[in-house]
Amino acid sequence: MNKKAVELNISTIIIVILAILVLVILALYFTGGMRFLWEKITPVPGAYEQTDLEQARSACGLYCSAREEASFCTHKFTIRKIDSQGNVLSTVTKFCDDKETGGIGAIKTNECITAGFDKVDCGAKYPERETV
């Protein structure tokens, strides 16, 4: 019998198909196409994102842990108030040491109390910071 065709093993064909699939997924990932796919399969878009207030609390906690008093007292955070549809209702500027209702509230955390930042008068110590 005279065979002129190339014979391929079935496992070789499967490996080639899987390799092409991996390359397509990597190309989508690096070009941003996976974000569109991820938004389609996750139940709530943005469900894992932190709010502005949570990010500010986290940053203030890091300033306290690192004992960065100047950063703690002078860093301004823009906090957006958002409705249930994701529309921005208003924005306010807050500092880590804001104590009033709706403030960041970082001054009450254990890290800030341990660092002694709960006793620091940031407004008097850093008069160059702009007040809200």
- Domain-wise residue ranges, the chain: 10-41, 52-125
Confidence of residue 48 (pLDDT cuts 50, 70, 90): very low
Q: By CB neighbour count within 10 A (0-12 exposed, 13-18 middle, 19+ buried), where does 24 fall?
A: exposed
The predicted model scores a pTM of 0.55
Whether residue 7 has pLDDT greater than 60:
yes
Higher pLDDT pick, 13 / 43 = 13
Higher pLDDT pick, 118 / 10 = 10
Handedness of CA 117, 108, 79, 47 (dihedral sign): positive
What is the pLDDT, as a whole number, of residue 120? 83
Whether residue 16 has pLDDT greater than 90:
yes
The pLDDT tens digits for 53-83 are 888 888 888 998 898 888 888 888 888 877 7
